[in-house]
Structure 1
Amino acid sequence: MIKPGNLFHISLLILFTGIFNYSYSRVRTPKELNTCKAILINNVLTLENDYLSRSYNWNNGDLISTQLTDKKNKHSWLLNGNKPDCILPGSGKAESGSLHVEAVAATSIAPAYLRAQVEVKFGSLFVRRVFRIYPESPAIACDFYLKGSVNEKWASTNVNVGDLINIEKIEAIAQGKANAPVIENLSLPGKHWRLNSVEFFDVTDRRNNLVQEYQQLLYNGESRMKGNLLFINDVLSDKGIFILKESPTAEAQLAYPGFDFLARWGNIQAAGIGVLPSDIPKNEWVRCYGFVTGVTAGSTLDRLSALRSYQKNLRTHLPGRDDMILLNTWGDRSQDKKIGLDFSLNEIRAAHKLGITHFQLDDGWQTGRSAASALSKGSFEGIWKRRDYWLPDIKKFPDGLSPLVNLGKKLGIEICVWFNPSQDSSYVHWQDDAGALISLYNKYGIRTFKIDGVHVMDKQSDINIRKMLDSVMKVTNNEAVFNLDVTAGKRYGYHYFNEYGNIFLENRYTDFGSYYPSWTLRNLWMLSRYVPPQNLQIEFLNNFRNTDKYAKDDLLAPSTVSFGYEFALTMMAQPLAWMEASGLPEKAYSITPTLKKYRDIQSKLHSGQIFPIGEEPSGTSWTGFQSILGNQGYLLVIRERNAQATCAVQTWLPAGKKIRLQTELGQGKNTTANVDKEGRVTFSLPANNSYALYHYQIIE
């Protein structure tokens, strides 16, 4: 409900439908939300903005989609289903429904949006759907909340399609159905649809292939697909729809039914809500997984841009808070052996010399010992048995962290720390964990925290970790930034908890021979098609170390590229200096002017929609990224190890145009260039493993 003193006057109508209904919910919105509407009239609920409109049969609050319209491209789909969009097995018939609409004001981490809340009662189960309508997005999001109880198991029936009986008996189709919650239901007309599902993988300590795409044509037999993202494209036109499931990756989802999407002629569903009936509290709302449905038309770029237009609303990107070149010493494998006052002060001085903006103390700054300690045996459990666990180690830091913070302020470097929440009893100590972080903020002004060691094994863990993060955000007035580690365990993936900061993507080490610049580039390149790369921390290492850990004839070893080239590969993301800066040789500091120039343009670079260009990185490709800002933007062109001094690189630029290229960094030259009919631009770079960052302007 709206609290007194809010800027916006909300006119609230709670609706109970009967045999005949004529109801209208109107909200007086701020100017930026004038195009966003949620209207219920004559049993039809319509949600819309300037980009799309979606209509539902109100059905006593148990919504049934009837029409989806792409307003910009003047195209509508009549959705001819007769089943509700949300199907929760065993829930029964809807008894009453209500609608509550309010304007949500912008904050420092989220833009303004219209919130349309639909609540419905099914016997003893209560369902709340919160639709988020943003003014400049071709998509509408829906968050689910449940409370009460339901007397049925929610599970998957994993049927092998080869075991189904002859298709002439139409009832055979139903044998493949799973008793899983359905959160989105599109009864699309026609048979000619191409489906492209995208599955994502984290646990990057064990994986080096993070994106997998699956393509198929819609058919009469039920098809089950994995992935957080599904593109549904009309074969006979350029029109399409996408569904984004806002959840962890398939392997990390709770109560996972074994798939994310179900498809057959006339029906496409998103499945899996992230809870089992036993997880639902009787009297308190529990937040579940949600989804986003959007409309697309035109080219591949148009489809990707539609998705990215929604994603930008998940966290407002502020230059002074969210952009960083962060130094973390763990990448040189000293673990917690060196961490202490003198070492840390030297690291801050070296970081300043290099051009770093943030210095992060990893595991070892605290009094307690973790399971990863190289000094003594520790644990990630039982942390709060000792109340001084998260206080600075007085032996290492006699005056606390103040000397580091003071030197950092003097040199323009923000001090950050690593933190591992207590795993006990599904994170039951979340308030203590939040208090430890808030104490660091209040005492030292530390606001950037790497959150590590998390295992979300049950719904209570998910709930308590979110409570911890939300508490810190509230007390710090949304100043906190969390680097959410996805390197191990069941964690958040790429489409969940996005409002809290950025993603610490991977641990790679020259000590183990697991770091290759081309592999890191490939992971960023693959993800950047569907995940904003400016939300990812991407590492570059001290490649002067451990040359003996790689074969002498390994032409892709880190030592075969320059230190500056390594850094360049991270520029479209949040660069992570994964090293001890004080251990760098003097020649490494030749890249300082590059880092300083990059800092001047980093926020502008990251303000665009960034997508991959060229070939998939392999160590021998011409590849790169494009940041699109209307008729201008940036091109990062990368020549890996190959014999081609010149290459026509596939871009997202419009065919037949002429562009002006101004070199910002690297080995490019100021010039003009033509975009060929395929959207390619020809670039020249003088040597293997070289790059150029250009600002481009379309001039004709």
Structure 2
Amino acid sequence: MSKKSIITIFLSTILGLPLWGGQHYYAFLKGDTLRMGNNYMERTMLWNNGTPVTISLTDKLCGKIIPAQGKEPDFSIVKGIPTAATFTVNEIPTNGIHASYLQATVACTIGSLSIERRYRIYADCPAIACDTYLKGQVELNQNKDDNRSNADRKNIEHTADMTTGVKTPTIDRLQLSGNHWRARTVEFFDYTDWNDNLVTERTWLPYRRNTYRGNLLFAHDVATRQGFFFLKEAPCSSTQLHYNGSDFVADFSDFMVVGLGIASDDVKPDSWTRVYGCVTGVYTGDEQEALTALRLYQKQLRHHTAAQDEMIMLNTWGDRSQDAKIDEAFCLAELDRAARLGVTLFQLDDGWQSGKSPNSKTAGGSFKDIWKNADYWTPNPTKFPHGLKRIVEKGKKLGIRIGLWFNPSIQNDFADWQKDAQVIIGLYKEYGICCFKIDGLQIPTKTAEQNLRRLFDTVLAQTNHEVIFNLDATAGRRGGYHYMNEYGNIFLENRYTDWGNYYPYRTLRNLWMLSRYVPAEKMQIEFLNKWRNADKYSTTDPFAPARYSFDYLFAITLAAQPLAWMEASNLPEEAYATATLLKEYQPLQLQFHQGIILPIGEEPSGRSWTGFQSIVSDTQGYLIIYREDNDIAKRTIDTWLPEGKKVTFTPLMGNGKKFVAEVGVQGKVSFELNDKNSFTLYQYQVKP
């Protein structure tokens, strides 16, 4: 049966349900059963007096149901009898950033604690998110027993010994049936100034009660090929608030999301406190179906537009002059070179402002008590005697947007967030600047997190949602890869030839590893001036930047948002030949990023064949193929293309040739590139 037929059958079963604004999402309570869903999935729960218990997940595309045998509530934090239970449904229209969604709110009170579970149901993905808010008073169990080693528990001789008795506050829970679940958890690492291994995976078979770390859990029933995922919407495990060592608990086929990110005193009697969120998605099949389900959800959080989200950025900080050079004359000259190179956004980093940061080339800068200097965030009058007016005007003339670096005032949990917000709003109103790199964040408390969100939300509300933030992930306790994603993209890493730590294949590897689980189009990936600091690398180092073409260095960023991490004025004349590639890329950028981008081939190692695939539809998309430094001119690699189909590959950038191939098992296709460290971006078409 075709997917279209299955959708039609399921739609016929929900006739008479409200279609909110013409969208196919719904949520309703009938008797003791709560149902919510869309054309892709349904989650069915027992009402349980306002503390729902999931009894099934339905994959509508395949007409399959994952039954549950829940006895405990999905969300559990305190014992007691729930009262004052209510159920409300509201449509939240798009604000230009997120997609429209249906908000189904389940509320109740248990003792002195009020709980609201606000489910987000989007029309176009097989996943339902849930944000939980608390108000009142609560004493939280820190559950340290859950994370003790099983080696410290007694041996099992009787069935009574199997009862652990550990009470765990859960963000969400699926109490399923079946003995053949296979699971994978994925943990992520940011503060990339210190980390260069950003993803770790653990595959396991659920058995007795154990704990696991990560933002993602995929579980697959080997017997039925049905699966689900949990996405914990929170910072990386190592930087979460009040982290007790785990994000998931599994006890045979009972799967729980844990770690609320709050302490008891974070819950206030007169205001709502949001805990870490959870997304539950379904799929039937294998890895591609699982990753597609996840990515369809991620794409709902922020519409990807050419005007805001697409950028080929030039930021001069990568050449380590810090704030020494930045002034009006320097920026005007950089704009001319940026236009020549094909850059679409020029960002002024630290140094444009009157205040001096601790990153200044000269001593005496600080981020402490920024607001003791009311002019801290005004353009430096010595460096920019006309403000930023001439920079912005020249940028408009050249078709280049202007962006700025900004460091919110971190002391006292961002207590000055309103002042910070008004600075950004003022720069937007005066100069039309819409892109701000947010640096220096530290989120040590729930209050800090709440105030930071207030800053971002206020800016967006007062700028018609036109501002985008580049959220720096290089240091500190920040949002990571799965939190605050609606506000912009991720500035992934600082790498410098000055320190000899920029290796192109390692940058490509970080993007490749993350892109399986994080939208590549939401990350800024750097390429550097390969002619600088050749003496910082061994003359025999095969992976030194100077050994690559400038074209190739740019090409490793194509699946993401390219960041020219350099001063254009330091580039030699030969570098501008790469402008041809940048200008070829510009009209393709949005098309490529609108697809579901997944890694293909081998993990980048400096010696591999690797790449990315952008799946635009069942019949078309794009591939970027990289041949790293190896002696194999023709290589068969695994893709996400359908087995047995004939596919036409047409090169749009790089050194490859047009060809037609029949796709083998596991998407295998042979590609040929004659030169080491070369690439091709293909458009592909699957033949009927």
TM-score by length of 2: 0.96
Q: Secondary structure at the match of 1:100?
A: strand
Q: Secondary structure at the match of 2:476?
A: coil
Aligned to 2:44: 55
Aligned to 1:440: 427
Cα displacement (A) at 1:373: 1.0
Cα displacement (A) at 1:93: 2.1
Cα displacement (A) at 1:567: 0.3
Aligned to 1:15: none
Which residue identity is paired with 1:29?
A: W
Aligned to 1:13: none
Of all paired residues, the percent bearing the same amino acid is 49
Q: 1:72 aligns with which of 61, 64, 76?
A: 61
Query: Taking structure 1 as reference, are residues 672 and 266 closer, same or farther at Cα in structure 2, changes over 3 Å only?
Result: closer
Which residue identity is paired with 1:166?
A: N
CA–CA separation in structure 2 for the residues paired with 1:515 and 1:180: 44
Q: Secondary structure at the match of 1:450?
A: strand
Q: Secondary structure at the match of 2:624?
A: strand
CA–CA separation in structure 2 for the residues paired with 1:241 and 1:191: 15
The question of 1:662 aligning with 2:653 is answered: no
The question of 1:339 aligning with 2:326 is answered: yes
Aligned to 1:499: 486
2:193–2:494 contact (8 Å) kept in structure 1: yes
Cα displacement (A) at 1:424: 1.2
CA–CA separation in structure 2 for the residues paired with 1:171 and 1:502: 51
Cα displacement (A) at 1:96: 2.0
After superposition, where does 1:600-611 map in structure 2 within 5 Å? Answer: 600-611=587-598
1:156–1:180 contact (8 Å) kept in structure 2: no
The question of 1:98 aligning with 2:76 is answered: no
1:205–1:507 contact (8 Å) kept in structure 2: yes
| Structure 2: stretches of 5+ with no match in the other structure | 1-15
Structure 1 window deviating more from structure 2 (649-658 vs 615-624): it is 649-658
Q: 2:460 aligns with which of 452, 466, 473?
A: 473
Q: Secondary structure at the match of 1:554?
A: coil
1:91–1:150 contact (8 Å) kept in structure 2: no
1:363–1:418 contact (8 Å) kept in structure 2: yes
CA–CA separation in structure 2 for the residues paired with 1:210 and 1:590: 33
Aligned to 1:19: none
Aligned to 2:75: 86
Aligned to 1:249: 236
Query: Taking structure 1 as reference, are residues 647 and 424 closer, same or farther at Cα in structure 2, changes over 3 Å only?
Result: same
Cα displacement (A) at 1:205: 0.3
The question of 1:537 aligning with 2:524 is answered: yes
Aligned to 2:614: 627
Aligned to 1:145: 133
Aligned to 1:109: 97
Cα displacement (A) at 1:28: 5.7
Structure 1 window deviating more from structure 2 (149-158 vs 193-202): it is 149-158
Which residue identity is paired with 1:336?
A: D
CA–CA separation in structure 2 for the residues paired with 1:601 and 1:172: 61
Which residue identity is paired with 1:617?
A: P
The question of 1:698 aligning with 2:686 is answered: yes
CA–CA separation in structure 1 for the residues paired with 2:115 and 2:401: 44
CA–CA separation in structure 2 for the residues paired with 1:176 and 1:576: 52
CA–CA separation in structure 2 for the residues paired with 1:697 and 1:346: 43
CA–CA separation in structure 2 for the residues paired with 1:171 and 1:345: 76
Which residue identity is paired with 2:52?
A: L
1:218–1:263 contact (8 Å) kept in structure 2: yes
Structure 1 window deviating more from structure 2 (223-232 vs 281-290): it is 281-290
Which residue identity is paired with 1:167?
A: I
Which residue identity is paired with 2:21?
A: P
Cα displacement (A) at 1:169: 3.9
Which residue identity is paired with 1:492?
A: G
CA–CA separation in structure 2 for the residues paired with 1:199 and 1:564: 33
Cα displacement (A) at 1:173: 4.0
The question of 1:37 aligning with 2:32 is answered: no
Aligned to 2:8: none
Q: Secondary structure at the match of 1:30?
A: helix
Aligned to 1:585: 572
Which residue identity is paired with 2:303?
A: T
Aligned to 1:687: 675
Structure 1 window deviating more from structure 2 (72-81 vs 571-580): it is 72-81
Aligned to 1:554: 541
CA–CA separation in structure 1 for the residues paired with 2:247 and 2:673: 44
| CA shift digits 1:607-644 (9 cap, x unpaired) | 10000011000000000000001110001000000000
2:19–2:25 contact (8 Å) kept in structure 1: no
Query: Taking structure 1 as reference, are residues 317 and 657 closer, same or farther at Cα in structure 2, changes over 3 Å only?
Result: same
Aligned to 1:12: none
The question of 1:464 aligning with 2:451 is answered: yes
Which residue identity is paired with 1:100?
A: T
| CA shift digits 1:529-572 (9 cap, x unpaired) | 01110000000000110000001100011111001100000001
Structure 1 window deviating more from structure 2 (567-576 vs 273-282): it is 273-282
CA–CA separation in structure 2 for the residues paired with 1:670 and 1:264: 52
| Structure 1: stretches of 5+ with no match in the other structure | 1-24
Which residue identity is paired with 2:95?
A: T
CA–CA separation in structure 2 for the residues paired with 1:296 and 1:381: 49
Which residue identity is paired with 2:99?
A: P
CA–CA separation in structure 2 for the residues paired with 1:147 and 1:174: 32
Structure 1 window deviating more from structure 2 (507-516 vs 112-121): it is 112-121
Q: Secondary structure at the match of 1:465?
A: helix
2:140–2:263 contact (8 Å) kept in structure 1: no
CA–CA separation in structure 2 for the residues paired with 1:668 and 1:152: 59
Query: Taking structure 1 as reference, are residues 28 and 645 closer, same or farther at Cα in structure 2, changes over 3 Å only?
Result: closer
2:97–2:303 contact (8 Å) kept in structure 1: yes
Q: 1:163 aligns with which of 149, 152, 164?
A: 152
2:20–2:26 contact (8 Å) kept in structure 1: no
Aligned CA RMSD, in angstroms, stands at 1.3
The question of 1:126 aligning with 2:114 is answered: yes
CA–CA separation in structure 2 for the residues paired with 1:174 and 1:200: 32
| CA shift digits 1:296-325 (9 cap, x unpaired) | 111211111111111110100011111000
Cα displacement (A) at 1:107: 2.4
Q: Secondary structure at the match of 2:360?
A: coil
| CA shift digits 1:566-622 (9 cap, x unpaired) | 000000100000000111000000011110110011000111000001100000000
CA–CA separation in structure 1 for the residues paired with 2:327 and 2:682: 41
CA–CA separation in structure 1 for the residues paired with 2:31 and 2:236: 40
Q: Secondary structure at the match of 2:385?
A: coil
CA–CA separation in structure 1 for the residues paired with 2:509 and 2:280: 28
CA–CA separation in structure 2 for the residues paired with 1:160 and 1:480: 47
CA–CA separation in structure 1 for the residues paired with 2:416 and 2:79: 33
1:257–1:271 contact (8 Å) kept in structure 2: no
Q: Secondary structure at the match of 2:576?
A: helix
- Report the number of matched residues: 671
CA–CA separation in structure 1 for the residues paired with 2:21 and 2:667: 41
Cα displacement (A) at 1:176: 7.7
